[in-house]
Amino acid sequence: MTDKPTLSDWQAAAAKEVKGRDLTWQTPEGIAVKPLYTAADVEGIDPGLPGFAPFTRGVRASMYAGRPWTIRQYAGFSTAEASNAFYRRNLAAGQKGLSVAFDLATHRGYDSDHPRVTGDVGKAGVAIDTIDDMKILFDGIPLDKMSVSMTMNGAVIPILAFFIVAGEEQGVPQALLDGTIQNDILKEFMVRNTYIYPPEPSMRIISDIIAYTSAHMPKFNSISISGYHMQEAGATQLQELAFTIADGREYAKAAMASGLDLDAFAGRLSFFFAIGMNFFMEVAKLRAARKLWHRVMTDLGAKDERSKMLRTHCQTSGVSLTEQDPYNNVIRTTVEAMAAMLGGTQSLHTNALDEAIALPTDFSARIARNTQIVLQEETGMTKVVDPLGGSYYIEALTEELVDKAWEIIQRVEAEGGMAQAVAAGWPKAMIEEASAGRAARVDKGEDVIVGVNKYKLAEQDPIDILDVDNVAVRESQIARIARSKAGRDEAKCTAALDALREGARGTTNVLALAVECARQRATLGEISSAMEDIFGRYDTVPTPVSGIYGGAHEFDAAWQGLKEGVVSLETRNGRRPRMLVAKMGQDGHDRGANLVSSAFGDLGFDVVPGPLFQTPSEAAKLAIESDVDVVGASSLAAGHKTLIPELIGHLREAGRGDIKVIAGGVIPAQDYQVLRDAGVQGIFGPGTNLVEAAGEVLRLLGHNMPPVEEDVK
């Protein structure tokens, strides 16, 4: 009889096959992933059973064998009428829940007629200015039967008030409203930046919402604690996991400090995670999150086991989508959807193939939605509860994520909680460093992105995209605002807004007061402004990291050539080349801008990181005052055709047309000529190699050097 092969036998066979090469993979999380896992790796690990504490294997005993996850599509664009029609088509085609995307003007608490939002209205979501907009958004969609998720944080008070009153005017009492409001402000201060008020009153708003919904809306989830935007900003899965659980702990503690009983509201807390392309890490992350949340809630004193269940929505990664060879995005989304399902999500949004470029078309949204339907209906994957449970690799990886995340959570607590950590800035700095490291690995080809840095097409085929006429939408919204104001009782509206100001100054629940403002037809901007009068408006300036991107390229000939080019320009001009990295409009996503600032700073440029939310005139003024040679305008929210030409116009009017303007971010190829005609001298879309981009900028500034691609080759 042949002896059973041992682990040593396998090691010898594997070493022979790969000529002794070490097959261990070091993940960005700092986890050493071995090429083989055995029973020895899971010794002492007991994941339990689905539906039982600590819920590692799922929050329901039957999971998808009893009922599949909810299919959602995150959508909203243009006007309430256009979005409502889109929702109805999707629901008729098999979608089970709504996830509403609001435009950036709405997120930041501005009505569409505000001069700061001319380029933002209707572009990256639906414009909501009045209760009439909200009623139209859900026209024909019964709010007592449909679960509605709303991604809103900054202007969460007026949006939730409008939703409540829209239900009332449909005949649906608050107690029957079902859904989720994101209401996660700590994440906004850390990565996404669509905040309005400073941290302290923002936390008070969250407590007021939890209190109000606990008393009046028992089916409604008062907060969706979001890690999604952390991963989109560059966080590793470990960082996303740890900081999201720590945020949840902070919110629970804040609500308890306001006098609420933990078990009275904990069951309505929910979570929201990103699902990227590291398949098994994402599966393990969701399992680890449930185990960690059970531990956190037990420590906080929860008695009801339902309070300790982590229920989550997931969305496939937006940052993993590519502009280049975009049909590969269908494959990426499918892989990510499978990871979310195998990890045990409660609902899921699948991104469309064109979302690296623009909002989804009906065609691309149908493919994204059908991805989930096919997984549910054709694969048999829903027939078994936690099918990867017991996998040596999955169980070992889950446990390692739990241990590493707990170390970070304990550091957060030791330093005073997540609000203190966010104020100190170290979580954001960790994420920025991870983001810069990832960008460097992609640009060097160490992390492969199919169609971007390997297996590239010789020519890119154009695809149809959804283009929103921002000017027409804004005019339509301004007209509706005027009609709404003309038809209201101005005295009652003013009294309601005054009461809201007094409540914000005192301790009265601000959501309850805002509901009355909505009934009296106050606009979103008026409600937000009333609270801003008391709370103030919060602003910040990005602080890019240094040394991470450049350090990864330290020994590359192309990088050294670029640094020599910077020195040459400094010698010729008497100072280093200077760049303003500008973020105009209400788009707070600053990953791309910070990466550019980091990379160009490491090259030797003097970089002026502009504050968020500038108008074109403010950006032009800062460029002139800073005496920059070039402005890099970062656009991720479709405002580029309005904002960047305005910037160039202001520079020319001031006699500084010599300052060169380049554009980067989510810019569809069909918009390039519009920007070039306006005077943009360089355009860098998603997936641009920053080393190559720096070479182009140096050539624009007059340094005569060969294309960087030739150096790389």
Distance CA 344, CA 68 (A): 10
Task: Provide the 8-state DSSP code for 189.
Answer: I
Neighbours of 35 (CB within 10 A): 12
DSSP conformation letters of 389-415: TT-HHHHHHHHHHHHHHHHHHHHHHHT
Q: Which residues of 111-146 are buried (b: 16+ CB within 10 A; e: fewer)?
A: bbbbebbbbbbbbbbbbbbbbbbbbbbbeeeebeeb
Reference 548, options 588, 612, 582, 594; nearest CA is: 594
Active-site residue, from 291, 308, 583, 640: 583
Instruction: Tell me phi and psi for residue 322, to 5 degrees.
Output: -120, 145
Active-site residue, from 123, 187, 229, 641: 229
Active-site residue, from 123, 553, 589, 650: 589
Close Cβ partners of 220 (under 8 Å, ≥ 6 residues apart):
177, 178, 179, 180, 181, 213, 268
Q: Which tokens sit at 273? A: 């995670």
Per the CB < 8 A criterion, the answer to whether 316 and 271 are in contact is: no
Task: Provide the 8-state DSSP code for 146.
Answer: -
Helices (H), 301-391: 328-343, 362-378
The dihedral through the CA atoms of 531, 535, 541, 547 has a sign that is: negative
Reference 691, options 442, 519, 497, 477; nearest CA is: 442
Distance CA 633, CA 582 (A): 5
Measured torsion, CA atoms of residues 318, 321, 326, 327, in degrees rounded to the nearest 10: -80
Question: Is 587 an annotated catalytic residue?
Answer: yes
Question: Is 228 an annotated catalytic residue?
Answer: yes
Per the CB < 8 A criterion, the answer to whether 639 and 121 are in contact is: no
User: Residue written as tokens 């990088």?
Assistant: 559
Reference 332, options 362, 313, 354; nearest CA is: 354
Q: Which residues of 301-314 are buried (b: 16+ CB within 10 A; e: fewer)?
A: ebeebebbbbbbbb
Q: Terminus-to-terminus CA distance in the chain, angstroms?
A: 56
Distance CA 66, CA 47 (A): 21
Active-site residue, from 120, 587, 602, 711: 587
Question: Is 640 an annotated catalytic residue?
Answer: no
User: Residue written as tokens 């935007």?
Assistant: 229
Q: Kindly state the greatest CA–CA separation across the chain.
A: 95
Question: Is 74 an annotated catalytic residue?
Answer: yes
Active-site residue, from 228, 251, 393, 549: 228
User: Residue written as tokens 């009492």?
Assistant: 173
Q: Which tokens sit at 581? A: 């990295």
Reference 554, options 711, 440, 710; nearest CA is: 440
Residue 459: half-sphere exposure toward Cβ, Cα within 13 Å: 2
User: In Å, what is the CA distance from 126 to each residue of 115, 391, 449, 474?
Assistant: 18, 43, 32, 11
Q: Could you list the active site residues?
A: 74, 228-229, 583, 587, 589
